Amino acid sequence: MSFFHGLSSGKNTQTLRSRRAHEGASTQYQLRQYAEATLGADSLKKIVQLPEGEDLCEWLAVNTVDFYNQINMLYGVVTEFCSPKTCPVMKATDAYEYLWQDPEKFRRPVSVSAPEYIELLMAWVQSNFDNEQIFPARIGVPFPKNFVPLIKTTFKRLFRVYAHIYCHHLEIMTELGLESLLNTSFKHYVLFAQEFELIDKKDYGPLASLVANMLE
């Protein structure tokens, strides 16, 4: 899995590949770095705004990579407690089960365990990152016409990892002293999604009230 490298802000136009994180550093240490960088900002709402002169697709691409890395790390904290035995289905409360579907292996929606769902999801997202027809590695190369719809699907699916953590592993995050980091990351995610209309309100499901409070 990839790991979070840093916030996307200002007019940073580094290529996506150069922004991929280096593996090996402590997950909790990197999470704390993220929280300090974010909480030290004037406003999360300002951070998510498209910088003047920045290409929208490039901004969406870079931030999607960053959020993917954040979520990878957050889930990495609870993987020891999230197994096919403890989490036999991918859900957020008993009211919301998330089925997996992809064009290669599972063409029809299928119920899988939470760790399998998240592994399939992360592999699917990473495969899109690695596909230069979707995520160009060089600045100036045009993004595909279906790029924004793909980002919307990606955000909707990655949200489900937050939902699973909040609904089934929040106690672990709290015991480890990482609840505030989870909240900061999720609020950043929600504000970014709202800024660019990436997630429909109905898709917030089990976290709808939490999202509403954050947006207020």
pTM: 0.81
Residues contributing to the annotated binding site: 82, 87, 164, 169
**Are the C-beta atoms of 17 and 63 separated by less than 8 Å?**
no
- Sign (positive or negative) of CA dihedral 191, 181, 205, 110: positive
**Are the C-beta atoms of 171 and 78 separated by less than 8 Å?**
no
Residues contributing to the annotated binding site for Zn(2+): 82, 87, 164, 169
Examine residue 9 and state whether it is found in any structural domain, yes or no: no
CA distances from 131 to 8, 16, 20, 146, 212 (A): 21, 11, 14, 14, 35
Which among 197, 173, 175 is positioned nearest to 185, based on CA atoms?
173
Examine residue 190 and state whether it is found in any structural domain, yes or no: yes
Quote the domain boundaries for residue 72: 16-215
Examine residue 83 and state whether it is found in any structural domain, yes or no: yes
Examine residue 28 and state whether it is found in any structural domain, yes or no: yes
CATH number of the CATH domain containing 25: 1.20.140.30
Print pLDDT tens along the chain (216 aa). 332 233 333 333 333 433 333 333 344 455 455 445 544 444 778 888 998 888 999 999 999 999 999 999 999 999 999 999 999 999 999 999 999 998 888 889 999 999 999 999 999 999 999 999 999 988 778 999 999 999 999 999 999 999 999 999 999 999 999 998 999 999 999 999 999 999 999 999 999 999 988 887
Give the amino acid at 42: D
